[in-house]
A and B are shown apart, each in its own frame.
Chain A
């Protein structure tokens, strides 16, 4: 079953620059794929469209059975709760503990505190940071911060996990570790789409790879 599908999607900015042109692909439920290309090729724009941080100028994006063009401003938060996102720059809040950072999506969704605490610890356990729950993210290393970001993205068990250059600031060893984490989540059924320009790493992972160049999808196949 297709979980994410792009149908002839184009994005043109007011400046006239075309970020995406006529992109079509589908991502099946439970699939893991990489999205690659030079910076400026449109990787982030594509991910942002799935998050509804941007809307296409043409074509349509469907996530689950939901055509995103039909979602209004008020339904947008509920759409985002079904997606977990990991950013290159983590987007962690430094005025709260690791635990509180990860608990935020659960708090927003309305989980009971005890239930939320259990899930936060489970997520921390998965990324191997259980003993750091009371620290501030600022005291963690870059790799650890990224793992906190991943824990926050998966704590509410989203159907889709998106990652935008999740290994951008990390050395090769840490990068591979992070990628293995994504693979683990994929194995339990989460659909994963990772934007990355780390070609050698992508090749080693042996997953489907979508290649963007100047906003066009120029290749789609096994790495």
Chain B
């Protein structure tokens, strides 16, 4: 029976030929069949399958969840990063007219985008409104607050901001200039560090996924030893023998991802209320992000690939050891 026209010239009179088209059709049919069979095989032993899937889901959900959290923190800090302001606390001796004049002078500078004067009276008013210590202020004879000018620099780069701050600080009218940047820098450094840590954790957990799938496939190969030997004896190629196991690995990846997605969404849901509460306390309308479409797709594809790869590694290793004898 001639199989490959290139490799096996026709010899015996009784041999059959299979044309290319029908072989291709058969190849696709076998893929579909293996996909279906390995799917139903998963649920032939539901408990071990579920346990494996739960392990995969947890290993996938942990980095997924942490990365989503980090994405939120980043988004939050980027929102602040884009509008750095420098607060200039004016000398206490400066009266309202002088402060007003000084703020107009600042407007003429070409390194500032906006200038906003908060006069002493205005500051007192806001203090009364926003803090609970309004009645303490009433006890004082005079307004203790200095006038404040907040300026928005044109150049928002992290390098330029401290320079500008120093320049403004040097002005005679300015008592103190404050740049609310250092904690942002610290936060950003912290986020970067955490991101790196999550990446390392993610890599380790990806390895765990590979090993878990690989081990599951190894057990499955062992239990189907006879089948593999017979297939090899009657001329099954490595690809043919490998196929059902690769589908099993891919299914594990896919189902693991689906379960991990549920875990992540559930955890985010649990956090939604406290985060909203926290945001309200900070007078922010911050809306926490979920995995989103792209995050979900990345989770799915990564997991699918890991499942397939884990199966491939296990099959590659063990199939060579199973030879008919």
Residues of chain A within 8 A of B231, CB atoms compared: 104, 108
Cβ of A156 and Cβ of B1 under 8 Å apart? yes
Judged by a CB distance under 8 angstroms, whether B295 is at the interface is no
| Inter-chain contact B14/A108, CB cutoff 8 Å | no
Residues of B within 8 A of A188 (CB): 14
Select one of B9, B12, B22, B235 contacting A77, CB under 8 A: B235
Is the C-beta of A143 less than 8 angstroms from some C-beta in chain B?
no
Minimum CB distance partner of A1 in chain B: B11
Contacts of B229 in A (CB 8 A): 91
CA distance A64 to B9 in the complex (A): 10
CA distance A85 to B234 in the complex (A): 8
Residues of chain A in range 112-166 having any CB-CB distance to chain B below 8 Å = 112-113, 152, 156-159
Taking a contact as CB atoms closer than 8 A, the residue among A53, A74, A95, A190 that contacts B324 in the complex is A53
Q: How far is the CA of A64 from the CA of B8 in the complex (A)?
A: 10
- Determine the residue in chain B with the shortest Cβ distance to A96: B227
A152 touches B14 (CB 8 A): no
Known A91-B226, A93-B230; contact A108-B12, beta-carbon cutoff 8 A: no
B13 interface contact, C-beta 8 A: yes
With known contacts A104-B230, A157-B15, A110–B7 Cβ distance under 8 A: no
B232 CB–A CB distance under 8 Å: yes
B3 contacts partner chain A, Cβ-Cβ < 8 Å: yes
**B226: nearest residue on chain A (CB-CB)?**
A93
Is the CB of A111 closer than 8 A to any CB of chain B? yes
On chain B, the residues within 8 Å of A79 by CB distance are 235
Taking CB as reference atom, which chain B residue is nearest A94? B226
Q: For chain A, what secondary structure do more than half of its interface residues adopt (helix, strand, loop), or is it mixed?
A: loop
Asked if B14 and A53 make an inter-chain contact with CB atoms under 8 angstroms apart, the answer reads no
Contacts of A110 in B (CB 8 A): 3, 18, 22-23, 26-27
- C-alpha spacing A119/B13, complex, angstroms: 17
Interface centre among B1, B7, B11 (most CB of A within 10 A): B1
In the complex formed, the residue of B with least CB distance to A54 is: B325
Question: CB of B30 within 8 A of chain A?
Answer: yes
Compute how far the CA of A78 lies from the CA of B239 in the bound complex, rounded to whole angstroms. Answer: 13
Q: State whether the Cβ of B111 lies closer than 8 Å to any Cβ in chain A.
A: no
Would you list which residues of chain A between 52 and 80 have a CB under 8 Å from chain B? 53, 64-65, 74-75, 77-80
B1-33 interface bits toward A, Cβ cutoff 8 Å, 1 = contact, 0 = none: 101100111011111101000110111011000
Q: A81-B235, A93-B230 are in contact. Are A112 and B25 (CB under 8 A)?
A: yes
User: In chain B, what residue has the closest Cβ to A155?
Assistant: B234
Distance from A115 Cβ to chain B, minimum over Cβ atoms (Å) = 8
Specify which of B8, B240, B323 is in contact with A53 (CB 8 Å cutoff).
Answer: B323
Q: A223 within 8 Å of B by Cβ?
A: no
Q: Are B18 and A109 in contact (CB under 8 A)?
A: yes
Q: How far is the CB of B74 from chain A (nearest CB, A)?
A: 50
Is A82 in the interface zone, CB < 8 Å from B?
yes
- CA of A77 to CA of B3 in the docked complex: distance in angstroms? 10
Q: Find residues 202-219 in chain B having any chain A CB closer than 8 Å to their own CB.
A: none
Check if B12 sits within 8 Å of A105, measured CB to CB. no
For A189, the chain B residues whose CB sits under 8 A away are 12-14
B233 at the interface (CB under 8 A from A): yes
Check B1 against A82 for contact (C-beta < 8 Å): yes
A93 and B227 contact, CB distance less than 8 A: yes
B13 and chain A: residue at smallest CB distance: A189
B237 lies within 8 A of chain A by Cβ: yes
In the complex, A40 Cα to B3 Cα: how many Å?
A: 35
Interface assignment of A39: CB less than 8 Å from any CB of chain B:
no
B7–A81 touching, CB < 8 Å: no
Contact of A26 with B by CB under 8 A: no
Instruction: For A82, list chain B residues within 8 Å (CB).
Output: 1, 8
Report A81-97 CB contacts with B as 1/0, cut-off 8 Å: 11001000001110100
Residues of chain B with a CB closer than 8 A to A159's CB: 1, 11-12, 14-15
In the complex, A29 has a CB within 8 A of chain B: yes
For residue A107, CB closer than 8 A to chain B, the reply is yes
B236 at the interface (CB under 8 A from A): yes
Q: Is A80 within 8 A of B27, CB to CB?
A: no
Taking a contact as CB atoms under 8 Å apart, the answer to whether A105 and B234 are in contact is yes
Residues of B within 8 A of A157 (CB): 1, 14-16
Among B13, B30, B230, B234, the residue within 8 A (CB) of A81 is B234
Report yes or no: B7 in contact with A85, Cβ–Cβ below 8 A: no
Residue of B3, B11, B233, B238 touching A85 (CB-CB under 8 A): B233
Given A108-B236, A109-B235, A156–B16 Cβ distance below 8 Å? yes
Taking CB atoms and an 8 Å cut-off, the chain B residues in 86-133 that contact chain A are: none
User: Can you pick out 7 interface pairs between chain A and chain B where the beta carbons lie within 8 Å of each other?
Assistant: A77-B235, A77-B236, A82-B1, A91-B229, A108-B235, A108-B237, A158-B1
Which B residues are closer than 8 A to A by beta carbons?
A: 1, 3-4, 7-9, 11-16, 18, 22-23, 25-27, 29-30, 226-227, 229-238, 240, 323-325
Top 5 nearest A-B pairs (CB, nearest first) are A81-B235, A80-B235, A110-B23, A110-B26, A105-B234
Extra contacts, 9 of them, besides A81-B1, A92-B230, A110-B18 (Cβ < 8 A), are A51-B233, A53-B324, A74-B237, A77-B236, A80-B235, A81-B235, A85-B233, A104-B234, A108-B231
